[in-house]
Amino acid sequence: MRTRPLPERKTLGTGWNIRPDTERVSAQALREGDVVLESHDHPATITRLSYPRHHVTVQARYIWQSLDEPSWTLGTFSNNHLFDRALPGEY
Residue boundaries of the structural domains of the chain: 25-86
Residue range 25-86, CATH number: 2.30.30.30
| Mean pLDDT over each residue of the chain, to the nearest integer | 93
Q: What is the DSSP string of the chain?
A: ---SPPPHHHHTTSSS-SS--EEEEEGGG--TT-EEEEETTEEEEEEEEE--TTEEEEEEEETTS-TTSPPEEEEEEETT-EEEEEPTT--
pLDDT digits (tens, 9 = 90+) for 37-81: 999 999 999 999 999 889 999 999 999 999 999 999 999 999 999
The bridge status of strand 42-50 relative to strand 22-26 is: unpaired
pTM: 0.90
Is residue 8's pLDDT more than 80?
yes
